[in-house]
Structure 1
Amino acid sequence: MIRRSCFLFSLLQAVMSGQWSGDNPRDVTAKNGLCARIPCCYRYPSHLNNKPRTGIWFNKDTNNKVSVAFHSGNSSLESTTFQHRTRLSGVLRDNDCSLVIDNVTQQDAGLYFFRVKFGGRNNYSYPTVTQLRVTDFTNKPTIFPDEMVAGQPVTVTCIFNTTCDGTAPTLTWVTPADEPTSASHSVTQRGDTLTYTSVLSLTPALKHHGQNLTCRVRYPTVSSEQILTMTVQYAPRNLSITSHNGANSSRVSVKEGNSAAILCSVQSFPACNLTWRHLGVTLNTTHSSNELWMEFPQLTRQDAGVYQCVAENEHGTAERDVTLTVELHGSERTWKCVAAMIVLAVILVASVIITAIFWAARCRNK
């Protein structure tokens, strides 16, 4: 965009051949530690088109001290605070006098103006002054995670965009200490934007669920980071069955007529579809939950039997059985015992009578 602007600006050179004029913004803001760009186009009398020239940028700091920030002909004339940090992003002969300052600090804030020298009296200081302001470095990298499943290799991408093509940033990762990792790095450019990319390869485990991955971007004087809390998906595990009294068991015994509640709970991510089954029939189902109650308002002997809890998500299935026993009331149990004793007594008496009749008949026959 800057070069196109300067090209259009230079077209006016032929029309306004006697003009000295420049075009640079009155205000530019840069981030501490990155670079500052001051776009600049300049025009001069056309008879100087083929003349050699020298471009100079001056800086007037907050203490009104004027120093040379950039000198295209002799860099030794530059102030020591600017040496090896300033350059032109364009070509002077193309009417482009845009200045770049790398590794900007708060001390670089101030006024900047451009001067061109063709030799003799053909020198000109352009009157438009640019105020450079330097703010805190707040730019952060961006993390793009893939879906994480326990035990399966995955890649996580971190990118950082900048328009500064001087000092390159460094992207690094901070990962769980026990996780071996590897990372690849690349840089691409689109227009004036440079994109630095780091791709991390790792194999997450269940224990990494909730732990942090950190991508850091570092310049010589500033740095920032982005944190990703790892969400590791895994199949159902630790399925447990708990009765209404809090006991965790595969057998539950409840008196007939009483109410009962049995809880099926499981650990998983994402949450499971839970189902209670009995004799192959689905009794109760819930979706995207890790808990499911099965309730009996009033137990009967027909409720006794084996019940099965099944937990399922996209990564696997878990199941567990519980045996429900329905106990009889004490009065009913006593009645049944008495009835059994009466029946036994009747049988015994009948046996005695039959035996006596048998032996009596035998004696008569003799």
Structure 2
Amino acid sequence: MIGKSYFLLSLLQVGLSQEWKGHTPEEVTAQEGLCAQIPCHYSYPSHLANQPRLGIWYNNEKLGKSSVAFHSEDYNHQLPRFRHRTWLSGDLKDGDCSLIINSFTREDAGPYFFRIEFNNQDKYSYIPETWLHVSDFTDKPRIFPADIIAGKPVDISCIFNTTCNGTAPALTWDTATDVPGSASNTVTQHGVTLTYTSVLSLTPSLRHHGQNLTCRLRYPSVSSERTLVLTVQYPPQNLSITSLDIIDASSINIIEGNSTVIICSVESFPASNLTWRHLNVPKNRTSSNNELWLAIPHVTSRDTGDYDCVAENEHGAVEGSITITVERRGSNDWKAGLLGAGITLGVGLSGFFIFKCVKKLCSTGRDHSAQTEPIRSCSSDDKSDKSWKKEEKELEMKSEHGLSPDSEDNVYESCEIDKDSVYVNV
């Protein structure tokens, strides 16, 4: 029983070892201009393990010399358009039949299958075939910039990865004429991935800020590129302080009670943190902004003094100052007010003296009414006196003071106003 089981097991192992099997994908898509790769692994009867063999790839669904894309012994059997463009990435003895087609074109698209031959006796075609499709070239290199700081050397890397070991791409740099630098290229492999790297070493300056830096990828028939806009970091510089009324002034005069605005601006990258200080006391601040306004409403004498603006970022700091002088209101307004007050006082005094003289005149006229000619009364009540009483009073005035009817002018002379003494107060 045991012998029979061993015999059946041996037959099963022989049958398995004699199977012909191939492992290829149904479809593969490759970009035009790059290399295309069809992964392939095959197996065969074990008794052929040490036999010589050749491998053939056909670009067709049928056998025929007119469709040979690769021949492991004689490339002259290949179609002219495939010569020197196809090879195997592995070793047939290891069961690796992977095909590489370099500089893949649209004409190369179609079905492919692999055939193995051992001394023209044992042969096998691994069907079904793999369909190879072509797409537009879209791959681009990648740029990995470090921090770019004015005056400090920096290395900028351009990298391109591929899993197809065809013609190596060329990586080059396109820079502005005033961006000198040196490049070094390397290639490394990790598993099936090939990494092409170009490192550009340069020392940027402020004038390089905003300029383009381009890494270009070139294959024999296609190319692509990646562009980096240089953003050069630098400390704050060119700080300026202005006001809404005066530009580029180191000091400004403000009338007490008025308002003003002073503006601090600076150039830097990244943007600076700005602070206004008065007598070392912060008055206003802003972050990541290269401009800061300080408004001072209703200026008083306490606002007199120096105002310092400090700008700083991670690469440095700079500061500037402006002096504000507060001028007290009213030196001219006070003089004008004093003149007006003097005029008002003078007019008032003049009116007062005139009133006093008229009052005195009226009083004098009553005292002399018995001896002089009648004098018109200064009171509205006197107008109601009887005419016979008027004559009697006038005679009494004349008799008492010895006045004649012509003495009325003498009464008014006693009320003469000294104009000079009045207006001298103005």
Q: TM-score, normalised by structure 2?
A: 0.72
Deviation at 1:253, TM superposition (A): 2.3
CA contact (8 A) 1:13 1:43 kept: no
Task: Please identify, of 327-336 and 50-59, the stretch whose mean Cα deviation from structure 2 is larger.
Answer: 327-336
Superposition deviation, residue 332 in structure 1: 5.9
Q: Whole-Å Cα distance in 2 between the matches of residues 260 and 109 of structure 1?
A: 76
Residue matched to 2:97: 97
Instruction: Give the deviation of 1:336 after TM superposition.
Output: 10
Q: 1:252 to 1:66 in 2, by over 3 A?
A: farther
Q: Which amino acid aligns with 2:76?
A: S
The within-5 A match list for 1:236-315 is 236-245=236-245, 247-315=247-315
Residue 205 of structure 2 aligns with an amino acid whose one-letter code is: A
Larger mean Cα displacement after TM superposition, 188-197 or 241-250: 241-250
Alignment of 1:1-366 (within 5 A): 16-60=16-60, 66-245=66-245, 247-330=247-330, 334-335=334-335
Query: Which ranges in structure 1 are unaligned for 5 or more consecutive residues?
Result: 1-11, 340-366
Structure 2, unpaired ranges of 5+: 1-11, 340-426
Q: d(CA) in 2 for partners of 1:105 and 1:96?
A: 24
Letter in 2 for 1:101: I
Taking the aligned partners of 1:100 and 1:180, their CA distance within structure 2 comes to: 39
Quote the offset at 1:119 in angstroms: 3.2
1:55-85 deviations in Å (ceiling 9; x for gaps):
1001039xx9951100011111111100001
1:60 corresponds to which letter in structure 2? N
AA of the residue aligned to 2:218: R
Instruction: Return the offset for 1:211.
Output: 1.2
| 1:89 counterpart letter in structure 2 | S
Contact 1:22 / 1:128 at 8 angstroms: preserved in 2?
no
CA–CA distance in 2 between the matches of 1:30 and 1:180?
Answer: 37
Q: Distance in 1 between matches of 2:244 and 2:99?
A: 76
| Structure number with higher strand proportion | 1
Q: Secondary structure at the match of 1:128?
A: strand
**Amino acid paired to 1:169:** P
Structure showing greater relative contact order (alpha-carbon pairs closer than 8 Å, 6 or more residues apart) = 1
Secondary structure of 1:322 counterpart: strand
Tell me which structure has the larger Cα radius of gyration.
Answer: 2
- Between the aligned partners of 2:317 and 2:121, the Cα distance in structure 1 is 88
State the alpha-carbon separation in 2 of the partners of residues 281 and 164 from structure 1: 66
Preserved CA contact (<8 Å) 1:23 1:128:
no
In structure 2, the residue corresponding to 1:104 is in which secondary structure? coil
Conservation of the 8 A alpha-carbon contact between 1:60 and 1:66 = no
Letter in 1 for 2:311: A
Distance 1:92 1:13 in 2: 23
Q: Distance in 2 between matches of 1:334 and 1:139?
A: 82
How far is 1:283 from its partner?
1.8
Output the amino acid matched with 1:158: C
SS at match of 1:127: strand
> How many Å apart are 1:49 and its aligned residue?
2.3
Residues 326 and 333 (structure 1 numbering): CA distance in 2 closer, same or farther, change over 3 Å?
farther
Indicate if the aligned counterparts of 2:173 and 2:215 stay in contact, CA closer than 8 A. yes
Question: TM (normalized to structure 1)?
Answer: 0.84
Deviations 1:196-255 (A, max 9, x none): 111111111111111111111111111111111111111111111121236332222222
Query: In structure 2, what residue type is equivalent to 1:260?
Result: T
Match of 2:421 in 1: none
Q: Does the 8 Å contact 2:66/2:79 carry over to 1?
A: no
- Post-superposition CA distance 1:30-61 (Å, at most 9, x none): 11111111111222233322221111001039
Distance 1:330 1:235, change over 3 A: same
2-side partners of 1:227 and 1:121: how far apart? 58
Q: Which moved more, 1:117-126 or 1:213-222?
A: 117-126
**Residues 14 and 188 from structure 1, CA distance in 2 versus in 1: closer, same or farther, beyond 3 angstroms?**
farther
In the alignment of these two chains, the number of paired residues is: 327
> Secondary structure of the residue that 1:149 maps to in structure 2?
coil
Q: Secondary structure at the residue paired with 2:76?
A: helix
Deviation readout 1:296-336 (Å, 9 max, x if unpaired): 11111221222111111122221111111223334665349
Contact 1:175–1:213 (Cα < 8 Å) also in 2: yes
* One-letter identity of the residue aligned with 1:292: L
Matched residue type, 2:298: Q
Tell me how far 1:120 sits from its aligned partner. 4.1
Letter in 1 for 2:130: T
